[in-house]
Structure formats: structure tokens, C-alpha cells
């Protein structure tokens, strides 16, 4: 049995084919495990309150924002996902609570609820389009764009990281394995 004190990625036992990890293929698939994640929800006043803590403005709808240590993803009206290393996210959580006290707001650690799959390379967009119905071509969706959407049967938060293009896909832990296998299959041609 697995040691309960050891962290386990939901994809720890997944074998990604060499052709998707070699760096030379048209597309690569890697996991970014164990990131810290916070859901920030808040209405009026939340932007001004958290700006000094995050060191950046909360992104507008369908956008993401990043400082050196944190990435902030728009998830819906009044909802953002804040992503970074666990330790950074840990003290950010406390600071956000203090900054948002007195406001109608909530800060929730959801680090272990999702994992992140990174899909990169010239063919990455075509792979996603096998299961995603939204327009992923710039300018409709480009670097910095971010949206919760549907890929195949899965609810994912999709972020474009750069023009390679590189995408981060946030997927619920319980569905990560199935989703990763779907992606591997979709990368097959």
C-alpha cells in the first residue's frame, strides 16, 4: 500500500508514450503536479483589496494574469483561481484572508482537487479541437487567454501559456487519469 504520508499525483501511475515526452514531437504532454491552488471569490471591492497581496490586478473575464510567483485565472464572474508553488500559495492564502476581511469574499484552498496537464507544441491546438468546441485561433483565444470550457466529456479550465502554443489544462483529480488517456489517444494522429 502506498505510504499515506507521501504525496501522490493522480497520474503517478500513468505511462505517457515516449513520443509525447521527447521534445521533438509536434505535441508533448506533461503533468504539473502538486501546485498550490486557491479559489478567490468576491464581489465589490475585491479587486482593490487583493491587488497589494497578489502584486497584480485580477484578470478580466476570459483572461489570466501572472506575476513571477503567482498565476491568476479568471473562472467566472466573481471567481478566480490563484496558482503557484504550495508554499507561496500557503502564505498568500493567509494574506488574502486578511486583505478580504470585511468584504463579501471567500478564499478556499483547492490545491489537491485538480491537477494540471500541459499540452505543448505546434499540434497542440489541433489535439484540443478534437474535443473542444470553442474558437482557439488567435485573436479569439491567444496567449494569456483563459476559460473554463469542455474538452470531450470533461470540464476543464484552459489557459494558453505561450504562442508555441502551450496550454495548461486544469482537470479534477478524479477525472485526471481518464482525461490524460483521452489526450494521449487524441495525440495519436
Partner 1 sequence: MLLIPCPHCGERPENEFSYGGDGTVERPTDPAAVSDADWHAYVYRRANPKGPHVEYWYHQFGCRSWFKVRRDTHTHEILPLEDETS
Which of positions 119-148 make contact with partner 1 (CB under 8 A)?
Answer: 133-134, 147-148
Question: What is the C-alpha to C-alpha distance for residues 138 and 174, in angstroms, rounded to an integer?
Answer: 32
> Is residue 53 a contact partner of residue 95, using CB atoms and an 8 Å limit?
yes
What is the layout of strands, in order, in the sheet containing 79-84? Answer: 64-66, 70-76, 79-84, 36-42, 105-109
Instruction: Kindly tell me which of 12 and 62 has the beta carbon lying closer to partner 1.
Output: 62
Residue 63 beta carbon to partner 1: minimum distance, rounded to whole angstroms? 12
Question: What is the C-alpha to C-alpha distance for residues 87 and 93, in angstroms, rounded to an integer?
Answer: 10
Per CB under 8 A, the list member of 12, 62, 98, 110 interacting with partner 1 is 62
Residue 156 beta carbon to partner 1: minimum distance, rounded to whole angstroms? 9
Residue 148 beta carbon to partner 1: minimum distance, rounded to whole angstroms? 5
> Is residue 157 a contact partner of residue 180, using CB atoms and an 8 Å limit?
no
What is the end-to-end Cα distance of the chain in Å, rounded? 37
Instruction: Kindly tell me which of 62 and 110 has the beta carbon lying closer to partner 1.
Output: 62
Q: By C-alpha distance, which of 177, 87, 68, 184 is closest to 131? A: 184
160 in contact with partner 1 (CB under 8 A): no
Instruction: Kindly tell me which of 67 and 108 has the beta carbon lying closer to partner 1.
Output: 108
Question: What is the C-alpha to C-alpha distance for residues 3 and 159, in angstroms, rounded to an integer?
Answer: 33
Instruction: Kindly tell me which of 20 and 156 has the beta carbon lying closer to partner 1.
Output: 156
Instruction: Kindly tell me which of 90 and 148 has the beta carbon lying closer to partner 1.
Output: 148
Q: Is 164 exposed, middle or buried (CB count within 10 Å of its CB: 0-12, 13-18, 19+)?
A: middle
Residue window 67-106: x/- pattern of binding to partner 1, with contact defined by CB under 8 A:
--------xxx-x---------------------------
Per CB under 8 A, the list member of 61, 138, 142, 188 interacting with partner 1 is 61
Please give the size of the binding site for partner 1, defined by CB under 8 A: 13
3-state secondary structure of 63: strand
Residues that bind partner 1 (CB under 8 A): 61-62, 75-77, 79, 133-134, 147-150, 155
Amino acid at each position: 500500500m502506498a505510504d499515506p504520508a507521501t504525496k501522490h499525483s493522480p497520474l503517478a501511475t500513468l505511462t505517457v508514450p515516449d513520443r509525447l515526452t521527447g521534445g521533438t514531437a509536434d505535441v508533448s504532454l506533461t503533468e504539473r503536479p502538486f501546485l498550490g491552488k486557491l479559489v478567490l471569490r468576491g464581489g465589490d471591492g475585491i479587486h482593490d483589496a487583493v491587488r497589494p497581496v497578489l502584486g497584480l490586478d485580477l484578470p478580466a473575464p476570459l483572461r489570466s494574469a501572472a506575476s513571477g510567483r503567482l498565476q491568476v485565472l479568471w473562472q467566472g464572474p466573481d471567481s478566480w483561481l490563484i496558482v503557484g508553488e504550495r508554499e507561496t500559495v500557503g502564505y498568500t492564502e493567509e494574506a488574502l484572508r486578511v486583505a478580504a476581511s470585511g468584504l463579501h469574499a471567500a478564499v478556499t484552498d483547492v490545491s489537491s482537487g485538480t491537477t494540471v496537464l500541459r499540452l505543448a507544441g505546434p499540434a497542440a491546438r489541433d489535439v484540443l479541437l478534437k474535443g473542444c468546441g470553442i474558437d482557439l485561433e488567435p485573436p479569439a483565444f491567444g496567449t494569456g487567454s483563459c476559460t473554463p470550457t469542455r474538452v470531450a466529456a470533461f470540464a476543464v479550465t484552459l489557459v494558453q501559456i505561450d504562442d508555441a502554443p502551450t496550454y495548461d489544462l486544469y482537470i479534477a483529480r478524479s477525472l485526471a487519469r481518464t482525461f490524460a488517456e483521452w489526450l494521449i489517444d487524441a495525440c495519436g494522429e
